Amino acid sequence: MAIQRATLTISEDDATIRQSLEDAFLPALLPALAQATGDFTLLRADLKPAGVSPGVAQGGMTAEQQEAAKLIAFEALRNLRDGRVQTAPRPIEEDVRRISAWMTGSAASDDYIPLLIEELAPGGEDLRAPKWRKDPAIPFTVAIIGAGMSGILAAIRLKQAAVPFVIVEKNADVGGTWFENTYPGARVDVSNAFYSYSFAQKTDWPKHFSTQEVLLNYFRDCAEEYGLREHIRFGTEVCSATFDKRSGNWSLRLRTPAGAEETLAVQAVISAVGQLNQPKLPDIAGMNSFAGPSFHSARWDHSVDLRGKRVAVIGTGASAAQFIPVIAEEAAQLTIFQRTPNWFAPVPHYHDEVPAGLSWLFLHVPHYMHWYRFWLFWNTTDGLLHAAKVDESWEHRDRSVSAANDELRELFSAYIRGQFEDRPDLLEKVLPKYPPASKRIILDNGIWARTLKRANVELLIDGIREITPRGVVTCDGVEHPADVIVYGTGFQASKFLTPMTISGRGGIDLNRQWDGDARAYMGITVPNFPNFFMLYGPNTNIVVNGSIIYFSECEVRYVLGCLRMLLESGRNAIDCRREVHDAYNERIDRANRERVWGVATVNSWYRNQKGRVAQNWPFNLIDYWRQTLEPNPADYEFI
């Protein structure tokens, strides 16, 4: 199935257009129509959105402003349909400046304009595609490890640059985390328009925040559309990768679907295995003694019927917050064991379907999806990052780290109190006492409170002493009977590249070099490991701003730039310089110590076993875009 893109044609009658406008997101529709028609008088000053905020409906437009905007949009759509629009080519940059200033209330700075044009692709072109092609006379092949979101992206870009590649994927299909995580209720917590490739925008998303099966199909469609399947070795695991300095080649030891071992020789390796793929099980006495079924949420056992069963869930993180409400409707009794409560952000439309009218407009209005994406992008460019900054003079460090962080705490606290005002016993258990953004914030539309209030659900915070054949014993000595145990305890995020063995120059083992504290330059390259590149590597995780797909697009462009730099040099390999790598990581560490997740004492997967924040990117999105535009040859040793 192909990805449905905008058709840019309208044949429907006036009544259909009027009806569709009832579902329109107007702050993005008027800009799209202004660009499509060339009539910038559509962007009336009295209709400017009050503020770019994800929590404000229609950008804060009043009811009167919305009606006026719909009338303007109706006439513009009729003009497009009836062919009464003839526009002369205009500089894209001028359009972007005018429209972004109207939408946001302030002119975008000069350094933001190129980034916005890339994100918007207002002319319909893929501006991040490589502008070069490998000389076919140069023998050079790249191995991509993993066919998830980042691996597919890397393959698309390599194909566009005519660089031969092979993808090694341990699973039976593409999709990565969206193939593996099939637990009930699994969905993304970034809006579809932003959690998708900038060059493969889809107009028929069924929901605002897609479920697992929809996202899996999107990545399947991308693999099909770009002709990647013939390059993928499914059911094949990379056991090890070894660099040979003399040849400049990497030798990958593979385990095939039949269990046999093979060797694959390539000139470069791109690891696209991600951070959240190895389930983390807790260290609880007696886990193996439990008599009933037990499994981790990332390895959901669909053969186990939970209907009428006593189910124990250990953990209340992001995955658990999604599957608990679903299985609560099936289980006879659901006992939830919580270590740390979550901060919840109110997103009323989190589970809602995309209205039919909005889908119609996405399909038929030129540029609409792009400007809708811009609205989301602008919201998340800086996002809540200012509220995560530590104010050293702030006195209330136990609850917040700055005035802005305290405002966020008050906002989230008010929401949680409102959800549990009728259950003070639960409110005491669910209201966090640590600063917000110290760990992952969970999106919520009220379903968490409704679930915990069910008669068949019990939330416990006493801590677990042991697991017995019959159930779970809390620290107060009470045994809680269970027929099934589900572990919603997250992933071994700090153990990058596990369980592969990566051997670089002189046979050095990457995990030994890291010694439990993974670091990389740009999150991509590591000294002593030439022509080895990582996607979603150390310190490239997004906490309160942006989409990981945006980061992957930046990373892949940088990797392609490194390959071009190498191929044009005529050398075998490039290796990141140690002093460059170390200086970069000092800057990252310093900035992370200035963020709430770097100073908070609450448990979090952001920290590794040595207490360092090894996952998070502490700056704005544009900062990462700038630094990955192209590699600096001085940062690398050519071998």
| Segment 66-71 mean pLDDT | 97
> What one-letter code names the amino acid at 284?
I
Tokens of 54: 């994800």
pLDDT band at 587 (very low <50, low <70, confident <90, very high): very high
pLDDT band at 339 (very low <50, low <70, confident <90, very high): very high
Closest CA to 435 of 379, 490, 387: 387
- Are 257 and 297 contained in the same domain? no
| Segment 454-462 mean pLDDT | 97
Tell me if 472 sits within 8 A of 464, measured CB to CB. yes
| Segment 474-492 mean pLDDT | 96
pLDDT given at position 381: 66
Q: Quick check: 495 pLDDT over 90?
A: no
pLDDT given at position 125: 82
Choose between 579 and 85: higher pLDDT: 579
Q: What is the DSSP letter of 288?
A: G
State the distance between the two ends of the chain, measured CA to CA, in whole angstroms: 44
pLDDT given at position 370: 87
- Are 334 and 448 contained in the same domain? yes
pLDDT in tens, 374-406: 888 777 666 788 999 999 999 988 899 999 999
pLDDT given at position 89: 66
The lowest-confidence range among 120-134, 319-333, 587-601 is 120-134
Check whether the bond before 499 is cis (ω within 30° of 0): yes
Q: Is 112 helix (H, G, I), strand (E, B) or coil?
A: helix
Domain carrying residue 26 = 14-108+355-382
The lowest-confidence range among 68-72, 134-138, 221-225, 496-500 is 496-500
- Among 429, 463, 487, residue at a domain's last position: 487
Position 23 in a domain: yes
| Segment 498-515 mean pLDDT | 95
pLDDT given at position 376: 82
Strands 310-314 and 484-487, bridge-based pairing: parallel
Tell me if 487 sits within 8 A of 297, measured CB to CB. yes
pLDDT band at 42 (very low <50, low <70, confident <90, very high): very high
Burial 597-612, CB ≥16 within 10 A → b, else e:
bbbbebebbbbbeeeb
Angle in degrees, CA 214, 217, 222, rounded to 5: 130
- Are 481 and 585 contained in the same domain? no
- Are 225 and 327 contained in the same domain? no
pLDDT given at position 94: 85
Position 502 in a domain: yes
Tell me if 445 sits within 8 A of 348, measured CB to CB. yes
Task: Check which CATH number belongs to the domain holding 262 and give it.
Answer: 3.50.50.60
Angle between helices 149-160 and 212-225 (to 10 degrees): 20
- Are 146 and 227 contained in the same domain? yes
Position 126 in a domain: no
Position 411 in a domain: no
- Are 91 and 44 contained in the same domain? yes
Tell me if 480 sits within 8 A of 473, measured CB to CB. yes
- Are 34 and 156 contained in the same domain? no
| Distance of alpha carbon 155 from alpha carbon 367, whole angstroms | 27
Position 202 in a domain: yes
pLDDT band at 55 (very low <50, low <70, confident <90, very high): low
Position 427 in a domain: no
pLDDT band at 429 (very low <50, low <70, confident <90, very high): very high
- Are 172 and 255 contained in the same domain? yes
pLDDT given at position 149: 97
Query: What are the C-alpha distances in Å from 497 to residues 125, 233, 489, 500, 527?
Result: 34, 19, 19, 6, 16
pLDDT given at position 91: 73
| Distance of alpha carbon 219 from alpha carbon 162, whole angstroms | 21
- Are 314 and 452 contained in the same domain? yes
pLDDT given at position 59: 87
Q: Quick check: 52 pLDDT over 60?
A: no
Q: What is the pTM of this model?
A: 0.95
Q: What is the DSSP letter of 351?
A: T
pLDDT in tens, 152-161: 999 999 999 9
Q: Is 551 helix (H, G, I), strand (E, B) or coil?
A: helix
- Are 339 and 469 contained in the same domain? yes
Instruction: Phi first, then psi: give them for residue 603, nearest 5 degrees.
Output: -65, 140
Q: Is 367 helix (H, G, I), strand (E, B) or coil?
A: coil
Residue with token string 């889908």: 359
Q: Is 584 helix (H, G, I), strand (E, B) or coil?
A: helix
% of the chain with per-residue pLDDT over 70: 97
| Distance of alpha carbon 47 from alpha carbon 51, whole angstroms | 12
The lowest-confidence range among 66-75, 207-216, 524-533, 542-551 is 542-551
- Among 487, 520, 545, residue at a domain's last position: 487
Q: How many CB atoms lie within 10 A of CB 123?
A: 12
Angle between helices 26-37 and 368-382 (to 10 degrees): 130
Please tell me the total count of domains within the chain: 3
pLDDT given at position 469: 98
Position 410 in a domain: no
pLDDT given at position 88: 61
For 261, counting Cβ atoms within 10 Å of its Cβ (0-12 exposed, 13-18 middle, 19+ buried), the class is exposed
Position 599 in a domain: yes
pLDDT band at 51 (very low <50, low <70, confident <90, very high): low
- Are 330 and 475 contained in the same domain? yes
Q: Strand pairing partners for 254?
A: 238, 262
Tokens of 78: 């009729």
pLDDT given at position 475: 97
- Are 372 and 449 contained in the same domain? no
For 541, counting Cβ atoms within 10 Å of its Cβ (0-12 exposed, 13-18 middle, 19+ buried), the class is buried
Instruction: Phi first, then psi: give them for residue 616, nearest 5 degrees.
Output: -90, 145
pLDDT in tens, 197-236: 999 989 999 999 999 999 999 999 999 999 999 999 999 9
Output the average pLDDT for the chain.
Answer: 94
pLDDT given at position 526: 98
